[in-house]
Amino acid sequence: MTTWHVLALTWTWEPSVVAGCTALAGAYLGFSGRPLGWGRTLSFMTGVAILLLALDSPLDGLGDRYLFSAHMAQHMLLVLIVPPLLILGIRPAWVRAALAVPGVRPLEHVLRRPAVAWLIGIGTLCTWHVPALYNRALANALVHLAQHLSFLVASTIFWWPVCAPLAELRMPALGAILYLFAASLASSGLGIALTFARPGLYPAYLHPNDVLGVLPVIRGGWSLTPAVDEQVGGLLMWVPGGLVYLCAILATLGRWYREEDEHEMRAGDATPSGQEARPYVTPMA
């Protein structure tokens, strides 16, 4: 058996996931007016594609049984990549319509508060890594489903104040940078803890039930012993995870540059100090 066999065997093609993703993409195209905004559509479709990839590719098949690191990669996609892409794809008009529905606006207002959104996002991430809960998810498909769904929902709440489609729903840029930076510290901290934790934090990965017969390739061909696997999982969260936050911070910095210039160059929004304006004589003249 080769690596390619393993990768081919471990696609799960869960019907519910395929159907769900197709429905999501179809609904998006159906509800979008014409012309399609390419940027938004591309972002949303990429988000759906990565969602499908995360839930049906070998990341899922291997992560379910064999590899903590594959499971971590899957979670990183669900937490850090899919939600922002989907949010960036949403049309502003839809958000306005949704906010007009009674009850939605107050709820959105509460969830958008930085402390609330941050605690929900990072709290969910940390809670599921408590060994008892994580092991339960590996043993029970329903708990596992709840884990993935809660990651998606909590991370959507987390990313909403950073990249919501309406400017007035987003946090001020400096605040957003601190928000993302604090999140990267927390998530990197968790990654560091997992990297240096004792092997066997999640015992199911120590001796997987090798129903597909791929274990020899994983242990032999890829040299992923349980200890290395757990270390790679922690490192994935620590380093590439941190880099995703860095990209978001840089994008926010770019937004800030545009906004602050626009703001400062508007006339008449400052408090006059009550003095006469005097032209300043340039020292270069």
Interface ranges with other proteins (CB under 8 A): 181, 184, 188, 195, 197-198, 228, 231-232, 235, 238-239, 242-243, 246, 249-250, 253-254, 256-257, 260-261, 264-265, 267-268, 270-275, 277-280, 282-285
Question: What is the closest distance, in whole angstroms, from the C-beta atom of residue 146 to other proteins in the complex?
Answer: 23
Q: Of 20 and 240, which has the nearer Cβ to other proteins? A: 240
Q: Of 169 and 182, which has the nearer Cβ to other proteins? A: 182
Question: What is the closest distance, in whole angstroms, from the C-beta atom of residue 130 to other proteins in the complex?
Answer: 12
Q: Of 30 and 279, which has the nearer Cβ to other proteins? A: 279
Question: What is the closest distance, in whole angstroms, from the C-beta atom of residue 21 to other proteins in the complex?
Answer: 31
**CB atoms inside a 10 Å sphere around CB 157:** 20
**CB atoms inside a 10 Å sphere around CB 193:** 15
Question: What is the closest distance, in whole angstroms, from the C-beta atom of residue 258 to other proteins in the complex?
Answer: 9
Question: What is the closest distance, in whole angstroms, from the C-beta atom of residue 84 to other proteins in the complex?
Answer: 18
Q: Of 48 and 232, which has the nearer Cβ to other proteins? A: 232
For residue 193, CA distances in Å to 52, 187, 198, 201 come to: 29, 10, 10, 11
DSSP 10: T
In SS3 terms, 159-205 reads as HHHHHCCCHHHCCCHHHHHHHHHHHHHHHHHHHHHHHHCCCCCCHHH
Q: Of 100 and 261, which has the nearer Cβ to other proteins? A: 261
CB 241 within 8 A of CB 188: yes
| Alpha-carbon gap, residue 73 to 75, rounded angstroms | 5
